[in-house]
Amino acid sequence: MVTPWLLLTGWLIREDSPKLFRESLVASIPVAIALQILTSFVLTASPDAAHYQYFVLLVVLFTTTVQRLPFRYAAIVCGIILACHAAAVMASPLMSWPIASVAVTTLAVTAYLTLLSNYYLERDGRRAYLHALRDRLRHQEAELASKHDPLTDLANRRYLAVRAAELWQKGDAASPVAVVMIDIDHFKAFNDHYGHVVGDACIKRVAACVRAELRSGDDLAVRYGGEELLVLLPKTEAGDAIRLAERIRRSIESLGIPHEGRGTVSTVTASCGVAAGPVSAISEAELIAAADAALYAAKRNGRNQVWPPLLRAAADGELGANVTIIGRR
């Protein structure tokens, strides 16, 4: 009875089978074993058969402690086995009613105690899983918080240092890299006039414009400090970086955020400084310093512009070293 069913069960169970189907087939195995024992007990005429029915106890123990079926399935299996066992021993002429009652009671108590153990083990296993999941999520949240600025949802300077270290240590030495420094024009006057809440909202909208213009997952937008943002552009020539900076500048201007902080009606704008060069020819600190110098040049030349201008960069051959020199003039 049991061996053919075991073989058939093994053949029927597949990884893509529905969970209910798989669990039901697995749960049917102890039922088949118990039915084999009880069938032999009912059909035999041996005077020693009265003791054979106690092997059903081992099936119950196997189901709830070794096989470790889910509690719901284990309870159903034990209920079926208990019902079949009670019917078999009560109907058997080999056992008196008092002995049959003791046998049924013993099996019922065994099933109850082992099912209780199964329930607590399953509950503790779920709790352990949920606690581990909670700890993993907290770790991920902490790691995310350590890399991102909470106001703008851009990367912070700590993560910039990590990405830059990877780029300069593991990247292609001949590969170009560019940095765009972005600063909101006259932001102190804007903040003083409208207040910090509106100022924070302005920074968030500007940051969203910057993030929307990123080209791929390699580009990194960073809140560098206060209202100053930075974009790190691996594998990017100076001309492409200036074009990206110009798109960012226009996108910020098109927001049309009112700016009356200087006594005149205008809108929020931003100035951008760009520097680029091969990874092997310039360090991270030098590249950021060059972009910062270019940013101040943009501010000195009237703000709301990208420095160096694209035509000036093209005239210099779009080389990172030339862009850096332009930025320092």
Question: What does 174-197 look like in DSSP terms, one character per residue?
Answer: TSEEEEEEEEETTHHHHHHHH-HH
CB count within 10 Å of CB 310 equals 17
Q: Please tell me the least confidently modeled range out of 83-97, 124-138, 215-229, 230-244.
A: 83-97
Task: Name the nearest CA neighbour of 179 among 32, 327, 65, 60.
Answer: 327
- The residues assigned a catalytic role are 227
Count of other CB atoms within 10 angstroms of residue 192: 12
**Are the CB atoms for 245 and 229 separated by under 8 Å?**
no
Q: Residue 255: pLDDT above 90? A: yes
- Residue 328: pLDDT above 70? no
Per DSSP bridges, beta strands 228-234 and 220-225 are: antiparallel
Considering only CA atoms, which of 118, 120, 112, 4 is closest in space to residue 57?
A: 112
Residue 329: its pLDDT value, please?
A: 34
Res 281: pLDDT: 86
Whether residue 275 has pLDDT greater than 50: yes
Residue 178 near residue 272 (C-beta atoms within 8 A): no
The full set of domain ranges for the chain reads 2-142, 157-328
Residue 249 pLDDT more than 90?
yes
CATH superfamily of 157-328: Reverse transcriptase/Diguanylate cyclase domain (3.30.70.270)
pLDDT tens figures, 131-159: 999 999 888 877 777 788 889 989 999 99
Nearest to 92 by CA among 61, 118, 59, 53: 53
CB 266, CB 259: distance < 8 Å = yes
Q: State the pTM of this model.
A: 0.60
Structure tokens at 288: 């950021």
pLDDT higher than threshold 60 for residue 326: no
pLDDT at residue 325, as a whole number? 37
Q: Is the pLDDT of residue 213 over 50?
A: yes
